[in-house]
Amino acid sequence: MKKQPQKLNLKGKKITVIGGGLIGASWASLFLAQGMKVVISDPKPDIQDYFNGKLDGNIADLKKLGYTIDSDYKNHLSYVADTATAVQGADYVQENGPENPAFKQDLWQLIEANAPEHCLFLSSSSGITISQQGTKMKNSSRLLIGHPFNPPHLIPLVEILAKDNPAGVDAAMDFYHSLGKVPVLLHKETPGFVANRLQAAIFRECVSLVTDGVVNVKELDDIMTASLGIRWAVGGPFVSFHLGGGDGGFPFFLHHLGPGMELIWKDEMSKPVAYDEKTIQLLDQQVKDHYGNISLTQLAEDRDEHQIALMNTFSKMK
C-alpha cells in the first residue's frame, strides 16, 4: 500500500537553493514562507537584487493563497556563492541550475562531497533524468527529481522520480506535501517527465494550427482558456472522457468517439512541425501583434492573480 504523505514541521530547517533565477527565486519564496532557513547559492553578482525584486510579490501571492507567514521571514535568508560552503549543514537541496547534463553532473558530485549524509537532494530539472545527472556521484540513488511547474510557489504539482531509494521517495513526498504541494511519484524515467511531455504534445498541435492558418495565437489561447483549460483544471483527460461517454462511461467514449479522435491523429498530428526560421518569425510576430502592448511583468501579474483566484475557488470546493 502506498504511504500517505505526512505533514512535517519545516520551520528552522535549512534548505540550499542552487540557482536563484526564475524557478529558484520562486522556490526560495515558498521555503521562506514556511519558516525555513534559506541559502541561495548563485554566482551572479546581481542575484540579491534580482531575488529582492521577486520576493515581496511572491510572498503577497502566497498570503492570498492562505499561507500564514511570520513577519521576520527575511531574517532567514542568506546568500552564499560558493556551492560547497552553501550546502554544509543543509537538510534539503533544491537544485535549479542550467539544463545542461555536464553542468549538473559536476554540480551533484560537488554537493554530495560537502552536504550532510541526511540531506535530501532534489533537482528541479525539467527533463534531464537521474541517470544523466548522477553519473559522477558515488551514490546516485541519493538524487531525486522534484520537478515543479512554473511558478513553483503557486502551481501545486511536483513530479517526483527516484532510483532504488524508497526512503528518499517517502521523504520527498512528505517534504513537498508539507509545503502545500501536490507531489506525484513517477514510476519510471522518461525524458521530459509527464507534465512537460503533455505540454509539448499539446503545443505541437498549437503550432501546427497556427502555422497552417486555422487560427492565430490569440484565438488559440482563447479557445484553450474557454474550453480545455477549464475542463482539465477540474478533471483530467481520463475522467473528462469517462464523463464524455455519458451513461456508458469511458468504454462508450472509446468505441463511439475514439475513431473520430484517431482520424485527427492521422490528419493534423501527422504534419511535420519544427521551429525553423519561418515558423519562429510567424509565431513571434503574432505574439507581438496580440500581446506586445502589455509588458511581461504585467502579463505575469495578471496570470498569477487569475491563477490564485482559480486555486482558491477549487480549495473552497474540497
Write the CA distances from 275 to 101, 127, 217, integer angstroms. 23, 19, 15
pLDDT tens digits, residue range 41-93?
Answer: 999 999 999 999 999 999 999 999 999 999 999 999 999 999 999 999 999 99
Place of cell 526512503: 167
Q: Which three cell numbers stand for residue 92?
A: 534539503
CA quadruple 228, 308, 95, 164: dihedral positive or negative?
negative
pLDDT for 16 equals 98
pLDDT tens digits, residue range 241-275?
Answer: 898 888 889 998 888 888 888 888 877 566 778 89
d(CA 191, CA 193): 5
User: How many CB atoms lie under 10 A from the CB of residue 288?
Assistant: 11
pLDDT tens digits, residue range 121-149?
Answer: 999 998 898 989 999 999 999 999 999 99
d(CA 21, CA 47): 8
Residues recognised as catalytic: 159
SS3 164: coil
Place of cell 500581446: 291
d(CA 309, CA 316): 11
Question: If you write DSSP's letter for every residue of 101-113 in order, what string do you get?
Answer: HHHHHHHHHHHHH
pLDDT tens digits, residue range 198-243?
Answer: 999 999 999 999 999 999 999 999 999 999 998 998 888 988 889 8
pLDDT confidence tier of residue 168, bands split at 50, 70 and 90: very high
> Would you mind telling me the total number of residues written for the chain in this entry?
318
Q: Which three cell numbers stand for residue 169?
A: 521517495
